[in-house]
Amino acid sequence: MAVGYLYDPIFLKHETGIHPERKQRLEHAMRHLAACGLLERLVALPSEPASLEDIARVHTPEMIEELRDLAQSGGGSIGPDTVVSPDSFDAALAAAGASIAAVRHVLEGTVESAFALVRPPGHHATPSAAMGFCLFNNIAIAATWALAEREVRRIAIVDFDVHHGNGTETVFRPDPRVLYISTHQYPFYPGTGHWRQAGVQVGIPNIMDIPLPAGTGDAGYTEVFTRLIQPTLERFEPEIILVSAGYDAHWSDPLAWMLLSVNGFRQIMDILHTAARALCGGRLALMLEGGYGLEAFKHCVATTFASLLDLPYDDPLGPAQESETDISAYVSQMCRWYGLE
């Protein structure tokens, strides 16, 4: 089945200067996808900017107006880490629109799976505030679009960015139609996402937070996805799986202290891809989030597409040189908390 991608040069016009979330991330990734022969195997999917109505399903009118006014006045900063340039508002609308289009094309069967290579990223943006490099919450906007416009009844969101997607969790905590699962380093920015805070709704977790200690690597993540995430997806029976794909848990990433390799990301993508085929006809839509070491980032994006295409991909960077943290006992504790053992 065909695999699609969504990309728009306007994403490069979200100018952030000397900043971890910079346009070179996408430039490197796109060049590498072309050079390694993956891009020619993919379907380029069309999209258009999200409408203000689409955005307003998630974000308050005051937040939307604040971002638009800041961009139109020449840009500036929101908090200590989130940059707005003159073209950022338009880029953010395009990123949200590409995320909606990824979901739409998958639901319509144009492709089996799709990856929206977007920036600015989104999973930290709350209904009322941009934060953490994020302007609009792309994956939340895409999911609410599917709930409203396609009457999808059950959506699962899996977020493997190294930071907890506090914005996405805030949007969907009260909505049992959406299962939100997040793996993330803890304690770490933004300070949320401990499993004891998530709670369980009617015996089935609508929010599954999986905080992991620094030093968790390939074995730990594979155990988490096998013992916690896969059975939870099976229990929820989603009609489509959405993924917040952040690659900052790679061992070389400058902003975190996890030990995933490119092969480790491939393993967790293979688990998600297999789950999608078993549970929802392969319907899988990904939206790009973090990942700030350019060399690792381009290979992680490539191995994600290789997984969706059922193709091999060699890891040129290899495993971390450090020994990873053994989290088996901790995973067992979380399994008991979430009713999986």
Q: Which residues, at least 6 apart from 235, have a Cβ–Cβ distance to it below 8 Å?
A: 204
- What confidence tier does 196 reach under pLDDT thresholds 50, 70, 90? confident
Average the pLDDT over 125-148 and give the result. 98
Task: List the structure tokens of 284.
Answer: 């899988």
Task: Please state, for a pLDDT cut of 70, what percent of the chain lies above it.
Answer: 98
Q: Are 84 and 66 in contact (CB under 8 A)?
A: no
Task: Please state, for a pLDDT cut of 90, what percent of the chain lies above it.
Answer: 94
Domain boundaries, given as residue ranges, for the chain: 3-337
Picking from 14-23, 60-69, 195-204, 307-316, which range would have the lowest pLDDT averaged per residue?
A: 195-204
**Which of the 8 DSSP states describes residue 301?**
H
Angle formed by the axes of helices 262-279 and 294-309, nearest 10°: 30
Quote the pLDDT of residue 138: 99
What is the Cα–Cα distance from 82 to 19, expressed in whole angstroms?
A: 9
What is the Cα–Cα distance from 253 to 237, expressed in whole angstroms?
A: 34
Picking from 124-138, 139-153, 191-205, 254-268, which range would have the lowest pLDDT averaged per residue?
A: 191-205
Quote the pLDDT of residue 341: 79
- The residues annotated with a catalytic role in the active site are 124
Mean pLDDT for the chain overall? 96
- What confidence tier does 205 reach under pLDDT thresholds 50, 70, 90? low
φ and ψ at residue 243, rounded to 5 degrees: -130, 125
Average the pLDDT over 124-139 and give the result. 98
What is the Cα–Cα distance from 149 to 56, expressed in whole angstroms?
A: 14
- Per-residue pLDDT tens over the stretch 280-306: 999 999 999 999 999 999 999 999 999
Residue in 51, 46, 55 with CA at minimum distance from that of residue 7: 46
Answer whether residue 203 shows pLDDT above 60.
Answer: no
What is the Cα–Cα distance from 59 to 146, expressed in whole angstroms?
A: 16
- What confidence tier does 228 reach under pLDDT thresholds 50, 70, 90? very high
Residue type, position 253, single letter: D
Domain 3-337 falls under CATH 3.40.800.20: yes
Task: List the structure tokens of 333.
Answer: 């504790």
Residue type, position 273, single letter: H
What is the Cα–Cα distance from 64 to 70, expressed in whole angstroms?
A: 10
What is the Cα–Cα distance from 37 to 268, expressed in whole angstroms?
A: 23
Quote the pLDDT of residue 1: 81
Answer whether residue 199 shows pLDDT above 60.
Answer: no
**Which of the 8 DSSP states describes residue 17?**
S
- Per-residue pLDDT tens over the stretch 82-123: 999 999 999 999 999 999 999 999 999 999 999 999 999 999
